[in-house]
């Protein structure tokens, strides 16, 4: 199947993002202490097992992102579908960025001098994928579609 989707987008959204989101699902479901430490230092909090249902729900969200990117986008190279899926996931990204900022503010750690490697490894991928999604939604680097599919 010929693709109007640039190779960079296909690589990031069909491989990198699904694997990254699957890792997020794994961490929240099987290693919630590790996941929690990637956002809040162990010296500031301890995971309460009574709250594991929240980690499980987050794991489900990560699973959805992994499968929507890894399966749905493999099914079609329709630019419109790619833009819609990634436009919807931009909301997810913006909420993740807000929660990162809000958490750092509550911890009194907005100053980059206080950031740990775990903080950067949580923030940088979110910033990167948000930029990629915004670019695809904006049509950056996209070729015109030759599809005769009906528009509603």
Can you give the pLDDT of all 152 residues of the chain as single tens digits?
457 899 999 999 999 999 999 999 999 999 999 999 999 999 999 999 999 999 999 999 999 999 999 999 999 999 999 999 999 999 999 999 999 999 999 999 999 999 999 999 999 999 999 999 999 999 999 876 555 444 55
pTM here is 0.86
The candidate with the shortest Cα–Cα distance to 79, out of 8, 137, 134, is: 137
User: Are 29 and 55 a contacting pair, CB within 8 Å?
Assistant: yes
The Cα 47–Cα 147 span in angstroms is: 51
User: Are 146 and 4 a contacting pair, CB within 8 Å?
Assistant: yes
What is the percent of the chain with per-residue pLDDT over 90, rounded to a whole number? 88
């Amino acid at each position: 199947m010929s693709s109007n989707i640039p190779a960079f987008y296909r690589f990031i959204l069909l491989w990198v993002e699904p694997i990254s989101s699957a890792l997020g699902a794994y961490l929240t479901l099987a290693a919630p202490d590790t996941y929690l430490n990637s956002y809040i230092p162990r010296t500031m909090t301890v995971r309460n097992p009574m709250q594991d249902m929240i980690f499980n729900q987050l794991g489900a969200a990560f699973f959805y992102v992994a499968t929507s990117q890894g399966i749905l986008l493999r099914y079609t190279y329709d630019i419109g579908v790619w833009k819609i899926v990634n436009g919807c996931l931009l909301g997810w990204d913006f909420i993740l960025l807000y929660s990162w900022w809000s958490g750092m503010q509550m911890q009194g750690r907005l100053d980059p001098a206080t950031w740990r490697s775990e903080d950067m490894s949580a923030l940088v991928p979110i910033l990167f994928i948000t930029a990629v999604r915004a670019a695809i939604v904006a049509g950056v680097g996209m070729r015109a579609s030759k599809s005769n599919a009906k528009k509603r």
